[in-house]
Amino acid sequence: MEQFINFSSKVMPLDSANVDTDQIIPKQFLKRIERTGFGEFLFFDWRFNDDGSPNKNFVLNKDEYKGSKILLAQDNFGCGSSREHAPWALRDYGFKVIISSSFADIFYNNSFKNGILPIVVEPDLLSNFFKFSVNDSSYELYIDLTNQKMKDLDNEYSFELDPFRKKCLLEGLDDIALTMIHSDKIDTFEKEYFKNT
């Protein structure tokens, strides 16, 4: 996994609550057997009209937000299906951070495995971020994972994060390799666990 490097970016406001993984990546694109190439299908049903032309009203298609690496969404982002294709599509498209007032558990877990940082903020702050980014598409946040801070020109906002997940993101650690360090523990566990079988 790539290491997470602190960065500044514009913020794309997606003003919907309960965005489910079926919306993030519709099922017709789940049939690939690779981990890459999902970005062009991100939010497909919202992003494209029935004739295949881009839906001009959808925020991903607005020129002023192009290139944002931070996605802002209302409560309960990533609910529904466990498909890891959702963070694969977000990552492929270029998002590195998603900010919401809450995330569904499986999506939250899947994000970290793919170098995406989901940041949980209080509803009031989320509502402010929406105000700032909707009113001014050039509004930028600096994401400082090392110090767990988001910064704009006026303010600094800290966020909570499990220290272990933070370390994995910053160092780009592979989960399986980490587990293999404990393989003697797994051996011991299995020996005891299966002794009667």
Partner 1 sequence: MEKKTLFDKIWEKHLVHEEEGKPTLLYIDLHLIHEVTSPQAFEGLRESKRMVRKPNLTFATMDHNVPTINRHNIDDPISAQQIDTLVKNCEQFGIKLFDLNSPYQGIVHVIGPEQGLTKPGMTIVCGDSHTSTHGAFGSLAFGIGTSEVEHVLATQCLWQVKPKTFEVKVDGMRPKGVTAKDIILSIIGNIGTAGATGHVIEYRGDAISSLSMEQRMTICNMSIEGGARAGMISPDNTTFEYLRNKPNMENIDNEIEEWKKLKSDDEAVFDRSLRLDASKMSPQVSWGTSPGMVSGIDNKVPNPKNIEDPVKRKSIEDALKYMGIKADMSISDIKLDTVFIGSCTNSRIEDLVAASKIFKGKKVASNINAIVVPGSQLVKYQAEKLGLDKIFKDAGCEWRESGCSMCLAMNPDKLSPGERCASTSNRNFEGRQGKGGRTHLVSPIMAAAAAINGRFIDVREYDIDWEDY
Distance from first CA to last CA of the chain, Å, rounded?
38
Output the six-digit token pair for 38. 């999902």
Residue 148, Ramachandran bin (φ over 0: left; ψ between -120 and 50: alpha; else beta): left
Residue 149: what residue type?
K
SS3 144: strand
Residue of 34, 51, 124, 160 interacting with partner 1 (CB under 8 A):
34
Task: Kindly tell me the sign of the dihedral angle through the C-alpha atoms of 96, 99, 104, 105.
Answer: positive
**Taking the CB of residue 62, how many other CB atoms lie within 10 A of it?**
15
Residue 50 or 63: which CB sits closer to partner 1? 50
Residue of 113, 125, 140, 161 interacting with partner 1 (CB under 8 A):
113
> By rule CB under 8 A, what string of x and - marks binding of each residue 164-193 to partner 1?
x----------xx--xx-xx-xx--xx--x
**Alpha carbon distance 130, 14 (integer Å):** 9
In the complex, minimum distance from the CB of residue 188 to partner 1, in angstroms, rounded to a whole number: 9
SS3 197: coil
Residue of 10, 43, 70, 84 interacting with partner 1 (CB under 8 A):
84
Residue of 105, 122, 136, 156 interacting with partner 1 (CB under 8 A):
105
- Is position 140 an interface residue for partner 1 (rule: CB under 8 A)? no
Q: Which stretches of the chain bind partner 1, using CB under 8 A?
A: 15-18, 20, 22-23, 26-28, 30-35, 45, 50, 74-76, 79-84, 87, 102-106, 109-110, 113-114, 162-164, 175-176, 179-180, 182-183, 185-186, 189-190, 193
